[in-house]
Structure 1
Amino acid sequence: MFGSWRAIHSRLKPHFSSQSALVGLIVVATAQTASSSNEELKDSVADKKKKEKKKTHWHTKQRHEESDQQSILLKESLKKYKEDLAAFDSVGARFDTFASAMTKEKDANGVRRKAMTFTDFLHSLVLPRFRISHPSRSLQYKCDFVGDADGLISYEECHLLYHLLEIPVEHFDVAFLMFDLDGNGTVDKAEFLEVLSSVLNNIKDKRLPEDSTDEVQVEASYHLLLHFFGKHGNKKITSKEFVAVIQSLKESLLRAEFDMYVHKENKKEDYITVHDFAVTLISCFDPKHLPAMLDRLQLLRASDERVTWREYLEFHSVIQNHLEGIKLAFELQPNHEITEDDFIKAAYIVSGVRLPAHIVSMAFRIFDIDGSGTLDENELLRVLSARNQTHHHSVKMWPPAKFWACVKNAE
């Protein structure tokens, strides 16, 4: 029996030996494969880290380059702004530069006169400001109530419109009350021209000599008078109707500025970045004080917040029409440091408009020099009031006594 087992074992031994060898080879091969895979994995991880490091370095370098380019752009824009302030120091200088059309009619010397399109007029106010963008050449603006029969604006009308855009709304309200002799809330054409003359007499062009005869011609706007009083000039208008026209002009001006930075998305409201909105806030500020704000302006580039056209119009309209009321609200406060909530509350009280918190917060980030979260009342008002001027005129505020006397006499 034992002999038979030995015989079987002797016959199977070679088979077991070869099988063991095969198993051994498989084990070795598996180990080598695993080792190779580990090495490849290590190499792959190392390569990935190397690529990520290289990518990060590239992005960092790109950000630095973009930041450098932006700094250069801001410096060049500031330089251009200073040059423009010096070059466009009068209505005539702006008109001569931006007027791109010629009238059909000729003057006494047989020469056709230069004239502005409505787009030229808007650009003459927007482009000399501090800005970092340019208007689209294909974008044109229209207005039904300015210009001659061809919609062209003469120098005289340009001069008149510049003045009208700077006059506070309440001045017209008081003037209309003064000349509304029958108390029905309307004025005719003759009375309206008296209203304009009265209000315009309170404007002084600080660039002109005291004895200058460069007066504003109140009948310079053909379409404006036609719009108000009809073809035969026998209609009457209210203060509200006149103010609505001025507001429409101001809205067109804001739209022209907004369009320089606009982003459009399908089925969504047009918007600009908070960075570009901040640029519009300081666009009329004294260039001597701008450099201190440009560094803080740069910080907003990383923000993905947006300002829609509705928000933009709302904010600037409140500033244009109610800044004096906001100023009075601030003066009634014992503390001269203004918080974001103070600003929102004051704007709401005088205008009935509750400004979006994120818009006000962004404005504070620009003007809050020491990072305290509050603003000095005088500094804030100085910046915002600059938006209401075209760098030509200083509006003389009517004394309160005279104001109330006008109202009382009209009652």
Structure 2
Amino acid sequence: MIRLARRVVRFGIQVHGRTRWISSWGTRTQIEGKQILTGLVGLGAATVAVIHTVRTADEDTGATSCSDNDPGDNKNISFTVTSSLERCFVAFCSLEFAGQVYMTPLDFLQSLTSEKPRMKERKILSTREVKALLASTPPLKSASSNLFQSLGNRGLLSYSDYLFLLCILAKPQHGFKIAFKMFDTDGNEQVDKAEFIKLQQIFRKSREDRKSNFQSNEDVDTTLTVHLFGGKGQQYLTYSSFQCFVQAVQREVASLEFNHTARGLPYLNGGDFVRTILKHTSLSPKAESLAWKADHIEEIYLDEFCQFFVFLNHLDDFETAVHMYTRNSIPIGKDEFSRVVVVLTGQPLPSSIVSAIFAAFDPESHGCLRLHDFVSTMRQRLSRGHKDKGHPDNLAFFSCVKRELSKY
């Protein structure tokens, strides 16, 4: 396409020379020549604009051309992102292999805490390098609550892995148990790798709001599958082991967010807690004005912070439960709020967290929670701001055409 654009523009310049020569024949001929020139230059500019748009889209999505490290391993990567989830995944991917992009464990953690990736250029992996990365994956039985931080850049996660891990951070335990039992046909509470991939696809569809262009290569092992099923993929995954894995992932991410805000201190004050839970929400720009009312609230420690996110994974159940109060015109005060939390999680939230929540979602200090505001905002927090708002490629295209035409 680049060669075509250059030829069209060169041809337009040649016509421009012919137009000057034709102009000596008469005004009418000159006008016709100018019309030809205008059409050809416009065509050339539009062609340049299309190329510019394609290049821009490639830069924004991270689509690049790969050189082969192993014969047949890498092909030219070309895809179009259609949702905010895909855009975030592509932006933070730092690895390429076999025509697909991958995150490292560190990329995944940074996608949760940072607005921009730490690097733009991706490393193209060979088959040998992929095997070396996966060889460093610890087995499930020796897993800890800092799996991803300890692995750092020594691993790779696919788009399906990314969506599945996001589901882990936003779903209650009973949701996984139901899905797990769906594939436990013999009732032994364990699944194999093939069944897990089907389970993964179910949770992937629950996160996507439209058909995705990303088709993960199931023949390529990833850090997640090797961790859960071993290097040869022949181990079975029991529900109790999977439950421990889910809890470890949830705690690792919560700890990362806690430490990111605490900056070396062993606690957060109420204001810092409010700022943290309002990240990735529509109230994020107003976080400071809402948080100052909670700055005086006593310290919130890591275990208490993690406990709040366990409750947050029961948000749908919470909304159902509190409607029993609102239908009977009973306002949701701190006592009612705390009672519902105990019913859902089996543990009460610390009074410091409850006070901080009401400081943010009861701005008039009436003692009543603004239920709709709290639920809708926390739902945004769980999805980490990933809500598709439409793809702006058409606007970018017409803007680019207008800009390129203005040069001629």
TM-score interval (norm. to shorter)? 0.5 to 0.7
1:20 is aligned to: none
Which residue among 161, 168, 192 is the counterpart of 1:188?
A: 192
Written as runs of structure 1 = structure 2, the 5 A alignment for 1:213-252 is 213-215=213-215, 222-252=222-252
Q: Read off the aligned partner of 1:367 and give its amino acid letter.
A: F
Distance in structure 2 (CA, Å) of the matches to 1:262 and 1:385: 24
Q: Read off the aligned partner of 1:170 and give its amino acid letter.
A: H
Q: Read off the aligned partner of 1:245 and give its amino acid letter.
A: F
Is 2:207 the partner of 1:203?
yes
Q: Read off the aligned partner of 1:258 and give its amino acid letter.
A: F
From the superposition, tell whether residues 332 and 232 of structure 1 become closer, same or farther in structure 2 (CA, over 3 Å): same
Deviation of residue 346 (structure 1)?
0.6
Deviation of residue 393 (structure 1)?
5.8
Distance in structure 1 (CA, Å) of the matches to 2:220 and 2:319: 34
1:358 is aligned to: 352
Which residue among 291, 307, 317 is the counterpart of 1:314?
A: 307
- Answer whether contact 1:271 1:309 (CA < 8 A) is retained: yes
Q: Read off the aligned partner of 1:352 and give its amino acid letter.
A: G
Report the identity percentage: 25
Runs of 5+ in structure 2 lacking a partner?
Answer: 1-80, 117-144, 389-408
2:175 is aligned to: 171
From the superposition, tell whether residues 387 and 185 of structure 1 become closer, same or farther in structure 2 (CA, over 3 Å): same
Deviation of residue 310 (structure 1)?
1.3
Using the size of structure 1 for normalisation, the TM-score is 0.58
**SS at structure 1 position matched to 2:261:** coil
Runs of 5+ in structure 1 lacking a partner?
Answer: 1-86, 130-140, 395-411
1:259 is aligned to: 259
From the superposition, tell whether residues 309 and 377 of structure 1 become closer, same or farther in structure 2 (CA, over 3 Å): same
Is 2:335 the partner of 1:331?
no
2:386 is aligned to: 392
Q: Deviations over 1:97-141 (max 9, x none)?
A: 434x446xx646xxxx86544233112122239xxxxxxxxxxx9
From the superposition, tell whether residues 120 and 211 of structure 1 become closer, same or farther in structure 2 (CA, over 3 Å): closer
Distance in structure 1 (CA, Å) of the matches to 2:153 and 2:370: 49
- Answer whether contact 1:196 1:218 (CA < 8 A) is retained: no
2:364 is aligned to: 370
Distance in structure 2 (CA, Å) of the matches to 1:188 and 1:95: 27
Distance in structure 1 (CA, Å) of the matches to 2:297 and 2:337: 24
Q: Deviations over 1:208-266 (max 9, x none)?
A: xx45433466676623222222233332223332233233222222122111222546x
- Answer whether contact 2:163 2:203 (CA < 8 A) is retained: no
Deviation of residue 155 (structure 1)?
5.1
Q: Read off the aligned partner of 2:298 and give its amino acid letter.
A: E
Distance in structure 1 (CA, Å) of the matches to 2:158 and 2:183: 28
**SS at structure 2 position matched to 1:225:** helix
Deviation of residue 368 (structure 1)?
0.3
Distance in structure 2 (CA, Å) of the matches to 1:226 and 1:149: 16
Deviation of residue 308 (structure 1)?
0.9
Deviation of residue 372 (structure 1)?
0.4
Distance in structure 2 (CA, Å) of the matches to 1:146 and 1:216: 25
Q: Kindly tell me the number of residue pairs found equivalent between the two proteins.
A: 278
2:294 is aligned to: 300
From the superposition, tell whether residues 117 and 195 of structure 1 become closer, same or farther in structure 2 (CA, over 3 Å): closer
Using the size of structure 2 for normalisation, the TM-score is 0.59
Which residue among 269, 280, 293 is the counterpart of 1:284?
A: 280
**SS at structure 1 position matched to 2:262:** coil
Q: Read off the aligned partner of 1:194 and give its amino acid letter.
A: K
Q: Read off the aligned partner of 2:114 and give its amino acid letter.
A: L
- Answer whether contact 1:88 1:128 (CA < 8 A) is retained: no
